[in-house]
């Protein structure tokens, strides 16, 4: 009888679900609070802006939607037995600073999610960090704890002792294999003006993500303004950019483009002054997105990425063109996503994606056709993926999904129109995952249990990666976190990840003679909120590697590393351990953070254990920004931000001795005896960068101008040493990349 009563009551309970968006542009609002006033029932929107409130009894209620930076909205609902009310709400922005909006979402994640080593960057945070020539997403992420760089101009992510090829980078579901390929690795592929948010998992990432050993960078572009037509154009020292967005019937669109223009200016100069000067290099990229909503339950999104670096020039002699070099490389991709609310408690997304990175190098000798050289390599990725979120009950949220991937990697080398080497690798991977986030004690103890399975057709291999995360709220503003997991990777790169300069990576599937590389993560930590604008995290971690596949020899200093034959790759193991500290605070237009990392990284190949070049022991970043007071001339009411870092030197192999080797002609050359590859450390590195930005009106349009200065106090950080053997004895020279302060300016107009 009692069981029947309970069943009757449960059947009578209803639910409320829907989406929460920004009324000004239609963008989703992640982690907004949704609750019934005067009732202990409520929820928060997920990353897609969707919410679901369970077990609402019959009756009349006032439901509230709140988000810092937006006006709170209330709606009156009348719940009938077993009814689901679908209620979509648009919140109107207020004048509260965007930094406080960011803090609001972070706070809700702290209360609701089981996450470690996670950080979300929004566009405003990217724009406020000083940059070289223009803002860059990856350079902004380098200011987070656990991430180190090789040198002042490095645009790669070395996350907690992992190499860049251990990072999974996604843009709207498109796998980006070389995210930092622009301008020989100086700029990333992502135009920061169209980034909605970027989520970085520095370790312990959930079962939803796989196929990499160290980290995940998941980038979502802006949805496009569904309320009105708008745009933005920017002009900087290196690039010009244009972004246009607006509504379409039942949807929205966004189109952006970026291109360097120094080559065009130099070309115009040569025509005007009849000069032969030229700049044979440029890059361009673009991102486009279209959303279509045929019904409240369905949304279709098409997103595309394209970009290319082009270098083409001729070498002339007295008789005309003698040689020509044509070198191009770039990323491109396309994704089609279908978002479907299958039922009020089940949210699903189906994705199809194509990704491609290719590089082509052609050398032509007009006088000697036998010297003509052609090199081509590309990776093609086809992905089909389904993800589902099931709001099982008040204490359980289940995520599960499956994805299939087909990869093709082509590699061609021709000399004098004859094929010298040709290979084509085709592999297939099938993955699936299941994950349950369980509130064991609501608002106190949360557990996330996950399992990811992988089938790899090269050698018919299976891998199973269990993962667990625990969050324990010891107090209202204090939580302890623990995460453990196993991670598998089926791709490797044939070029060294220790090169100081590397244009891009050459990817290879793990062949049948090698075991799949795996890593185990163990992360614990504490997260403390002192007030709504101040938080601190401390995270010790340990990461153990097995079956690593990598070049055995250390790359030479200063060389541009291309590729190493697969047979020259070695198998090794290793570990990374350390502790990350992060403190962040914001008050109105004043904000800042401090990140510090202590890390130890080791690799073992055969009987040799060494520290790779990116093993940086101490790494400190301090960012501070504030609104300039109105009483200051020129700069008043602008935004000034400063970034200062200090880091201990990277390891290198010192020359222990040198000796002369005489030739039969009576002259000699120097031979060098090198020490162990990590026996010495470069000097301490530090640098101060500054950014100032101020809003203006120009030609009746709102906009802003900015000035950045990199290396304000002219610090000469040593990247590596070279030897001048023309002197006797040879002299050692310091190589630096920012020998002087480097300013850059830019202008942005919005329409």
188-227: pLDDT as tens digits: 888 888 988 889 999 999 999 999 999 999 999 999 999 9
Distance spanning both ends of the chain, measured CA to CA:
67
- Residues 714 and 741 sit within 8 Å (Cβ to Cβ): yes
Q: State how far Cα 404 lies from the chain centre.
A: 23
Q: Token pair for residue 88?
A: 């979509």
pLDDT surpassing 60 at residue 310: yes
Strand partners, 631: none
Residue-wise pLDDT for 595-615, tens only, equals 999 999 999 998 899 999 999
Residue-wise pLDDT for 378-415, tens only, equals 999 999 999 999 999 888 999 999 999 999 999 899 88
Q: What is the pLDDT of the chain when averaged over all its residues?
A: 87
Residue-wise pLDDT for 110-133, tens only, equals 888 888 889 887 777 777 788 777
Residue-wise pLDDT for 149-196, tens only, equals 988 888 889 999 999 999 999 999 999 999 988 877 778 888 888 988
- What is the average per-residue pLDDT within 519-536? 93
**Which pLDDT value is given to residue 107?**
79
Residue-wise pLDDT for 233-273, tens only, equals 999 888 899 999 999 999 999 999 999 887 777 777 676 77
Rounded Cα–Cα distance for residues 374 and 281 (Å)? 19
Rounded Cα–Cα distance for residues 72 and 168 (Å)? 37
Rounded Cα–Cα distance for residues 506 and 545 (Å)? 21
For 228, counting Cβ atoms within 10 Å of its Cβ (0-12 exposed, 13-18 middle, 19+ buried), the class is exposed
Rounded Cα–Cα distance for residues 481 and 597 (Å)? 18
The DSSP-derived string for 165-192 is GGEEEEETTEE-S-TT-BGGGTB-S--G
Q: Token pair for residue 565?
A: 């034959």
Rounded Cα–Cα distance for residues 259 and 236 (Å)? 11
Backbone angles phi, psi at 676, to 5 degrees: -60, 150
User: What domains can be seen in the chain, in order of their start residue?
Assistant: 2-96 (2.60.40.1120), 118-647 (2.40.170.20)
Strand partners, 664: none
Q: Token pair for residue 139?
A: 């350079």
Residue-wise pLDDT for 311-356, tens only, equals 988 877 766 678 888 999 999 999 999 999 999 999 999 999 999 9
**Which pLDDT value is given to residue 10?**
45
> Which whole-number Å values give the CA distances from 189 to 78, 350, 493, 743, in the listed order?
50, 25, 19, 22
Per-residue pLDDT band for 9 (boundaries 50, 70, 90) equals: very low
């Amino acid at each position: 009888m009692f069981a029947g009563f309970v069943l009757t009551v449960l059947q009578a309970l209803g639910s409320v679900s829907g989406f929460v968006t920004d009324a000004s542009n239609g963008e989703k609002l992640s982690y907004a609070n949704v609750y019934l006033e005067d009732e202990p029932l409520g929820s928060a929107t997920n990353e897609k802006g969707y919410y679901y409130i369970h077990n609402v009894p019959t009756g009349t209620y006032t439901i509230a939607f709140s988000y810092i930076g937006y006006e709170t909205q209330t709606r009156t609902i009348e719940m009938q037995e077993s009814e689901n009310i679908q209620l979509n709400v648009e919140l109107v922005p207020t004048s509260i600073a965007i930094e406080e909006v960011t803090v609001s979402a972070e706070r809700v994640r702290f209360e609701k999610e089981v996450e470690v080593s996670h950080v979300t960057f929004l566009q405003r945070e990217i724009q406020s960090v000083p940059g070289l020539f223009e803002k860059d997403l990856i350079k902004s992420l380098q200011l987070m704890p656990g991430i180190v760089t090789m040198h002042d101009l490095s645009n790669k992510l070395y996350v907690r002792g992992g190499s860049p090829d251990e990072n999974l980078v996604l843009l709207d579901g498109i796998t980006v294999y070389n995210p930092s390929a622009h301008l020989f690795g100086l700029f990333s592929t992502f135009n920061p003006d169209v980034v909605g948010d970027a989520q970085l998992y520095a370790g312990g990432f959930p079962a939803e993500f796989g196929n990499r050993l160290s980290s995940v960078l998941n980038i979502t572009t802006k949805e496009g303004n569904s309320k009105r037509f708008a745009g933005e154009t920017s002009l900087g020292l290196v690039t010009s950019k244009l972004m246009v967005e607006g509504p379409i019937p039942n949807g929205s669109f966004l189109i952006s483009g970026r291109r360097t223009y120094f080559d065009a200016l130099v070309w115009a100069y040569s025509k005007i002054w009849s000069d032969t000067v030229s700049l044979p290099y440029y890059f361009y990229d673009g991102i486009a997105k279209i959303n279509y909503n045929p019904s409240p339950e369905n949304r279709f999104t098409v997103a595309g990425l394209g970009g290319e670096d082009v270098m083409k020039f001729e070498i002339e002699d007295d008789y005309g063109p003698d040689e020509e070099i044509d070198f191009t490389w770039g990323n491109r991709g396309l994704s089609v996503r279908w978002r479907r609310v299958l039922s009020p408690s089940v949210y699903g997304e189906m994705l199809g994606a194509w990704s491609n990175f290719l590089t082509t190098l052609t050398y032509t000798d007009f006088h000697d056709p036998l010297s003509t050289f052609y090199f081509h390599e590309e990776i093609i990725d086809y992905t089909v993926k389904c993800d589902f979120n099931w709001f099982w009950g008040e204490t359980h949220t289940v995520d599960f999904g499956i994805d299939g991937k087909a990869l093709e990697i082509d590699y061609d080398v021709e000399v004098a129109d004859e094929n010298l080497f040709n290979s084509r690798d085709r592999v297939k991977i099938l993955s699936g995952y299941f994950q349950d986030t369980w509130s064991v004690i609501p608002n106190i103890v949360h557990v996330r249990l996950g399992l990811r399975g992988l089938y790899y057709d090269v050698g018919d291999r299976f891998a199973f990666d269990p993962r667990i995360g625990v969050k324990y709220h010891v107090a209202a503003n204090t939580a302890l976190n623990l995460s453990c997991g196993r991670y598998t990777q089926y791709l490797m790169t044939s070029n060294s990840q220790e090169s100081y300069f590397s244009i891009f990576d050459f990817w290879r599937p793990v062949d049948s003679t090698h075991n799949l590389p795996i890593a185990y993560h163990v992360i614990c930590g504490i997260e403390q909120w002192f007030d709504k604008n101040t938080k601190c995290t401390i995270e010790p971690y340990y990461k153990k590697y097995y079956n690593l596949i990598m070049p055995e020899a250390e790359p030479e200093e200063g060389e541009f590393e291309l590729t190493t034959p697969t047979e020259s790759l070695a198998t090794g193991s290793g570990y990374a351990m350390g502790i990350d500290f992060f403190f962040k605070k914001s008050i109105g237009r004043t904000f800042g953070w401090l990140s510090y990392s202590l890390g130890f990284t080791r690799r073992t190949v055969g009987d040799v254990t060494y520290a790779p070049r990116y093993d940086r022991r101490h790494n400190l970043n301090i960012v501070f920004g504030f609104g300039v007071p109105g009483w200051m001339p020129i700069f008043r009411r602008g935004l000034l931000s400063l970034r200062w870092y200090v880091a201990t030197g990277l390891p290198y192999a010192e020359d222990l001795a040198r000796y002369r080797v005489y030739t039969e002609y009576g002259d000699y050359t120097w031979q060098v005896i090198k020490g162990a590859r990590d026996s010495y450390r470069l000097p301490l590195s530090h640098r101060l960068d500054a950014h100032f930005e101020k809003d203006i009106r120009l030609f009746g349009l709102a906009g802003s101008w900015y000035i950045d200065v990199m290396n304000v106090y002219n610090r000469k950080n040593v990247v590596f040493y070279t030897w001048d053997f023309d002197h006797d004895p040879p002299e050692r020279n310091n190589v630096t990349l920012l020998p002087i302060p480097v300013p850059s300016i830019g202008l942005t107009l919005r329409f």
